[in-house]
Amino acid sequence: MIRRRKQLIYLLGFMGVGKTTVGELLAQRLRWPFIDLDATIESGQGNTIRQIFEQAGEAFFRDIERAALIEASKTEPAVIALGGGTFVQPLNFEYIQEHGGMTVWLDCSLEELRRRCEGKDDRPLFRDPESFARLLEERLPYYRRAHFRISTESRDPEEVAEEILRLSLS
Ligand code: S3P
C-alpha cells in the first residue's frame, strides 16, 4: 500500500522566531487553513496566554495546549504554528511523530530572539535574559528533531515561507 504524506505542516521553534508570521504567509500560498495554537487557546479560554499562566499555572496551560494540538491536527490540510514549548513536551512530540505531517524548525540567534521578545509582556516565559537563554538551550535537542531547520535570521518572512513551500512540494 502506498501511504500518502499527510498534508500537515507544523511550524515549531522558540518564542519570537516568526512561526505565526511565516505560517500565515505559507498557508496563503498553499491555500490551506492556518491554525495558530496560541490563538486558538486564547479564544477557547477567553483569556490571554499570560492570564492563563498567572491564574491557572503552566501545568494547566500545557494540558489545554495538548488538547488544542490534538484538535488542530484533525484539520487537513493545514499549516499549524505551535507555541514555543509545544514540541518539547514529550507526549506532544510523540503525538506529532505518530500522527504524521512535516515538522519545520524555524531558528534564529539568541540575540535576535531576545531583541524581538524584549519589552513585550505577552510571553510569560520571557522573564529575564539568563532564563531565556537557558530555556532555549534546554529545548534545542527537541527542536533539532524536526524534519527541517530553516533560519529566519535577517530574512524576509515571504522568503522563508517560499522556502518551506518548496520543501513541502518536493
Ligand atoms: C511558550 C511560548 C508561547 C506560548 C506560551 C509558552 C513557551 O508561544 O505558547 O507563552 O513555552 O515557549 P510563542 O512561541 O508563540 O511565543
CB atoms within 10 A of CB 113: 24
Residue 160 has pLDDT above 80, yes or no: yes
Give 9 Cα–ligand 1 centroid separation in angstroms. Answer: 18
84 CA distance to ligand 1 middle (Å): 4
Q: Does the Cβ of 85 fall within 6 Å of ligand 1?
A: yes
Residue pLDDT, tens place only, 111-140: 999 999 887 778 888 888 899 999 999 999
Alpha carbons 34 and 161: distance in angstroms, whole number: 13
DSSP characters over 69-91: HHHHTTSSSEEEEPPTTGGGSHH
Please check whether residue 104 is in contact with residue 34, taking contact to mean a CB–CB distance below 8 angstroms. no
- Name the least confident of 62-66, 124-128, 145-149: 124-128
First to last CA, the chain: 21
pLDDT digits (tens, 9 = 90+) for 77-97: 999 999 999 999 999 999 999
Nearest to 41 by CA among 124, 126, 159, 99: 124
CA distances from 61 to 55, 66, 86, 89 (A): 10, 9, 10, 12
**Under CATH, to which class is 8-164 assigned?**
alpha beta
Phi, psi at residue 153, to the nearest 5°?
Answer: -65, 125
136-142, Cβ contacts within 8 angstroms, sequence gap of 24 or more: 136/14, 136/110, 138/88, 139/14, 139/84, 139/85, 139/88, 142/87, 142/88, 142/93
The per-residue pLDDT of the chain, averaged, comes to: 94
Query: Which of 40, 170, 158, 151 is CA-nearest to residue 104?
Result: 151
Among protein residues, the one whose CA lies closest to atom 2 of ligand 1: 84
Residue 1: pLDDT band with limits 50, 70, 90: low
Cβ(123) to ligand 1 under 6 A?
yes
49 Cβ closer than 6 Å to some ligand 1 atom: yes
Lowest mean pLDDT among 1-10, 63-72, 125-134: 1-10
pTM over 0.85: yes
Tell me, in angstroms, the distance from the centre of ligand 1 to residue 99's CA: 22
pLDDT at 131: 92
Q: Is 83 in the pocket of ligand 1 (CB under 6 A)?
A: yes
Residue pLDDT, tens place only, 10-57: 999 999 999 999 999 999 999 999 999 999 999 999 999 999 999 999
* Structural domain spans, the chain: 8-164
Q: How confident is the model at residue 4 (pLDDT cuts 50, 70, 90)?
A: low
Angle of helix 90-99 relative to helix 58-72, nearest 10 degrees, comes to 0
Please tell me the distance between residue 88's alpha carbon and the centre of ligand 1 in angstroms.
11
